Structure 1
């Protein structure tokens, strides 16, 4: 873990179908608790994402290890239960695009793909803040072709290639020179390249250690069982 090279980045946020919500706007995690959204929300099946969402809604850090705060987050998730239609995996993209639900908690890159499939959908980074993630390239120490690995990384980091990659996949690029080759409507889209003010509220997940991660997973499991 000595070296890694980021080639994509993004956020966790909310995809929603304004048409299915009677024109309602969503700007905050706390909007999800609106009783009008009963049985309309799809959640990704990830403890850090969903516990983190609840922590953010309470204005706590995504990396909070205070068990009182975490219990508050779990209780708040329990209160969300009437609005949750399902907790799902990759199929969330198809379900939202097909308008099986009006709201989904997703990663920004998936949001871009869903919005390409259905133009009635929009994506928002909640105003309280959220997760900032990176997809990185690394060379395993057991790699047989080190020279080829470096050549591939250099190829992917070439600004024109990085721009083409970002435009095709829909994830944001951390490559500053690549931004010059992207259409202005992409670079200026604050849903995927947020303002500095909002970017300052984004947090990278920290390694919480096995014990605390297990606690997060246990709380998430309890929430899923509560839904039943």
Structure 2
């Protein structure tokens, strides 16, 4: 992805009653170091020790932290990053040490596997792996889930204020988004290289990871003409700006979009007809993890939909687990931001990992746009 991503300005879920996560195997009362044997051996749930998690902002509500610590006896410390590239740089600089569980997006899982930054632990060895929804069990970036387990699914689309923008003028595609009339106001745009480039490529009739240099020239020309219509270029505070009316329309990740629509029901979330990015953020174990048993216990605990529903509620996201959506409040289940319609599902494009040469095209186009 891009790159997702995404800095979420997400509301913290209210405290909930959590069911105890199913645990299989034996019990480990102390931390285990990040050895290959600890990673690939039989699952043994840890009942103490500590765990360090590095994740996206808003992905770990306080209520979830408290429930996990109560259920497992493991002390959990959480730090956040704001992009996949920041996560990758951090792991490279430390050799993967300092954190146990990290949460890269789909394309970054593939990248970090190739760089030796992730520990192979085999998700199928965890008792709760059976709860993963079928569509997430064999992703292109880790086909056998040997290095990762899905955590959050989301989409990159368009939000607009229906009280001030008519359905006729509403940007329902990236092509229309970038060519919108200045009369509808300035746009909120994500400060994200992959999201901007993918959207612009789709607007000119191409798609992500194109190897045709002409596509990038067309996309660059399109973005040059769009610059004057940009109100804010930022991935932070998106929900607040859209909900308050500071920006009448904009590019947004679905979890920000959900928070905005809850605050302002006049806002509508659109799946662009020329291609909507679908991203999956994942749980993985750092190659330098010092608390591998605790890390596997955490991942297994999070694969219980009853434990994890507060994450979806907080983040405004659908579940990657079987039966997970059924646990969400009715209002969330009825929202197209959370559960796309059959027509909206047809617009989805899973974010892909591009080659290094293509990444250079992305970087140049984005730098030109930001000037």
Judge same fold: TM > 0.5, yes or no.
yes
Correspondence 1:7 to 2:151: yes
Correspondence 1:49 to 2:195: yes
Extract unaligned runs of 5+ from structure 1. Answer: none
Extract unaligned runs of 5+ from structure 2. Answer: 1-112, 114-145
Residues 18-68 of structure 1, C-alpha deviations (whole Å, 9 max, x = no match): 223256544222222122446421111112111111111223222212111
> Match for residue 317 of structure 2?
171
| SS of 1:217 mapped into structure 2 | helix
* Counterpart selection for 1:120 from 244, 260, 266: 266
1:188 and 1:95 map into 2 onto residues whose CA distance is: 24
Which of the two has greater helix per residue?
1
* Counterpart selection for 1:27 from 165, 172, 196: 172
> Match for residue 100 of structure 2?
none
Contact 2:271–2:347, Cα closer than 8 Å, also in 1: no
2:205 and 2:332 map into 1 onto residues whose CA distance is: 30
1:37 and 1:125 map into 2 onto residues whose CA distance is: 22
* Counterpart selection for 1:94 from 236, 240, 245: 240
RMSD across aligned positions (CA) = 2.1
Contact 1:129–1:198, Cα closer than 8 Å, also in 2: no
1:184 and 1:95 map into 2 onto residues whose CA distance is: 26
Higher relative contact order (CA 8 A, sep 6+): 1
| SS of 1:177 mapped into structure 2 | coil
Q: Cα distance, 1:191 vs. partner?
A: 3.0
1:73-222 equivalent positions in 2, closer than 5 A: 73-222=219-368
Correspondence 1:16 to 2:126: no
| SS of 2:282 mapped into structure 1 | strand
2:216 and 2:243 map into 1 onto residues whose CA distance is: 32
From the CA coordinates, give the structure whose radius of gyration is larger: 2
